Amino acid sequence: MKYVVVTGGGMSGLGKGVTSSSVGVLLQACGLRVTCIKIDPYLNIDAGTMSPFEHGEVFVLQDGGEADLDLGNYERFLDVTLTSDNNITTGKINRTVMEKERRGAYLGKTVQVVPHVTDEIQDWIQRVAHAPVDVCVIELGGTVGDIESCPFVEALAELSYRVGDFCLIHVSHVPVLSAVGEQKTKPTQHSVRTLRSLGLAPNILACRSNSPLEGYAREKLARSCHVSSGNVLSLHDVGKNVWRVPILLRDQKAHEAVLRVLNLDVKEPDLKEWTARAELFDALVEPVRIALVGKYMGLTRINKDAYFSVEKALMHASVALRKNFFSQNPNAYKAAWNKLKGADGILVPGGFGDRGVEGKILAAKHARENRIPYLGICLGMQVAVIEFARSVLLDMQDANSTEFDAETKNPCVVFMPEGSRTHMGGTMRLGSRRTYFHHDNHVGCMAARLYGNVSYVDERHRHRYEVNPEMVARFEEAGLWFSGRDESGERMEIVELGEHPFYVGVQFHPEFKSRPGKPSPVFTGGKKNSDLN
């Protein structure tokens, strides 16, 4: 097994996830089989209980694992399906070590960070990175030198000696001070010095900067960090089009540098399809405006990351349909309504808690009454049901979800009976579940047509509340049709409004399986590239 480890120094937010994914794309394009592991040094078992305001999106994996959004980057870039084992956290490692200690697995020895914790980390990595994979790309979250990442750095240092074929890529910042006007290499030099003091030496430097790395900066970094100048890569900004990053790396022969360190035959990557998609994205002109009516909105990058997969799914769909996608997510009430009224479509994504829900209900009402295309995801589907009950069913003006009003007399959305009210982490309905399409007494089923008229579809879920099955018959009598249900037929998965051009709500999260070149059908409205010819 060959290993590529990506670390970051100096500051967070440098793009280690995109770098790791892009290196994986290059190696895949060279004909190698690639998997990815994300190491998150926090004490949480997983990302499931973290606030999107603080940590960004929680990405749901096929087996129900709740993980950092970088796992979504890996899946989208590499078109692979990962599991919760591909995400290592301090919480998971400590729990495993403590369980072993309680079983007496350490035979009475004093349990220590070295060797017991570091051995567990290495064993976990090697268990995940098994055949038929050729290369495992490992991203170490956080910043080198952080106290919480020290056991992982030590474990990776030990692993590098144990396995031999080990390539370390260090991502660091090369800033330009406005008063001086030149690229400064000292932050990267100090970052590499910290890394070396912890037992790891970089084979490749990936330098993040606003503009291409200057020759003098490249030579200075190569000399001071003991790396050949050909292994000092410029990871300058590429704008909105992150699909340009693998191409940027290929043009600098990054694949050759990695393959040589791993003692593999140097090959030229085949990025024809990838390059064509990146160029198409840059050439899109005709706009489409989608109002994203979320609740985790703000002015910082991390707030934007709260709906990271939703925005990527919209991007995949817009490229497939040759549209230039604009996401609108204003905060001020008046500005929000002006944006909403000018949108070509409205998307209400998932979320938890009652903050902002009434605004989402108004957005669903606006879409329904004005025949604007509407897609509701998870909470967005429940919001559509609540709005329909309040506006169409005459005696349900106070309809609500028990999540927002536990005493509501008309609970359209209720807590699922198998859920836990005392424990938060890992207790939701999670992971891939099957949805069956229902055509009973209806001429057609829009949801089934979106997916190519199949009888069922498997999508990923993350929710505690569901549409009240006792009210389904009344909704359907009034024209709101539940066209997708689980295997029991009692849990509602898809809702649609028959007399509307496109009014669809899904309980699952289709954005988690959207891929470049293979957008989710509910985001494209079932249209394909061939429909545009």
Instruction: List the catalytic residues.
Output: 378, 509, 511
Going 16 to 201 to 26 to 249, the CA torsion angle's sign is: positive
Q: Are 221 and 190 in contact (CB under 8 A)?
A: no
Place of tokens 């994914």: 21
In contact, 484 and 433? CB cutoff 8 Å: no
Burial tier of 293 (Cβ tally within 10 Å: 0-12, 13-18, 19+): buried
Long-range contacts of 356-362 (CB under 8 A, 24+ apart): 356/294, 356/295, 357/295, 357/383, 357/404, 359/293, 360/293, 360/295, 361/386, 361/387, 361/390
Q: Are 30 and 261 in contact (CB under 8 A)?
A: no
Both tokens assigned to 207: 């330098």
Token pair listed for 195: 């890394």
- The sign one gets for the Cα dihedral 238, 271, 39, 84 is positive
Q: Which residues contact 370 (CB under 8 A, 6 or more apart)?
A: none
| SS3 assignment, position 79 | coil
Cα(224)–Cα(192) distance, rounded to whole angstroms?
9
Strand partners, 233: 206
CB 15 within 8 A of CB 235: yes
Residue 74 Ramachandran class (φ > 0 left, ψ -120 to 50 alpha, else beta): alpha
d(C-alpha 165, C-alpha 159), whole Å: 10
**For residue 276, how far is the Cα from the chain centroid?**
23
